[in-house]
Amino acid sequence: MLRPMRDTDPQQIVDAPVRRALLELVVRGVALVAVVLMLVLGPSVPSLAWTRDLANVLLVALLFGVAGLVRLERHIRGRPSEPARADAWARARAVDEGDAALGLLIAGWVPVALAAGLVVLVAPHFADADLEVRGMWWAFGIPVLLGGWIVATNGWLEASRDELARALGESDRRFRAYWADPGQ
């Protein structure tokens, strides 16, 4: 059972899991956007132009890797209840409005960054002089990249909400533990 120290503010103890979850979400989101930015900007440097196809492959691997990690985490940790997930962002906003707004902004920018990265990396292939290469991108490249983006985006947004719901559940447990014996 959680026993807070007498000198510690109980509200800080109760809110700590939510604040930690919001911070982790921001850090993971910024890291994903940074990786996408490096994959997009790397091939635009003239001496690294040869890495464009490698960046395409790495971005697809990143998309499916994010989706796979989300599924693995959900399998291991389980999924919070639907009511807990539905109220996660609103309840996080009640804990810290600024951090929740930043977390929601980052959570929304990750899919945008992934989509922008895909467009920037794939756009030169649409103007390829070789009709076979251009046709292969339209026939195979776009469906794979679009499918990867949809799966990764859905996974990212669901995982963000799941993590907040878990943190809010821990916050509720801490609150109940404190009020079970407030003198300790």
> What is the torsional sign of CA 73, 76, 77, 81?
positive
Q: How far apart are CA 168 and CA 21, in angstroms?
A: 9
Query: What dihedral do alpha carbons 26, 110, 167, 172 form, nearest 10°?
Result: 100
Q: Which residue has the tokens 């895909």?
A: 118
- Residues 6 or more apart in contact with residue 182 via CB below 8 angstroms: 10
> Which residue is it, tokens 């999924």?
79
Residue-level pLDDT at 137: 80
Q: Give dist(CA 58, CA 142) in Å, integer.
A: 15
Give residue 2's pLDDT.
42
- Successive 10-residue mean pLDDT values, the chain, 184 residues: 57 91 93 87 82 81 85 88 92 93 93 86 79 83 85 90 94 89 68
**Secondary structure (3-state) at 1:** coil
The string of DSSP letters for 163-177 reads HHHHHHHHHHHHHHH
83 φ, ψ to 5°? Answer: -65, -40
Extract the tokens encoding 46: 């003239």
The H or E element containing residue 89 is helix 88-95
Residue with the two structure tokens 């109760």: 14
Q: Give the model's pLDDT for residue 6.
A: 53
Residues in the chain, total = 184
Token duo for residue 106:
């980052």
Alpha-carbon separation of residue 122 from 65, 81, 96, 130 (angstroms): 19, 39, 39, 15
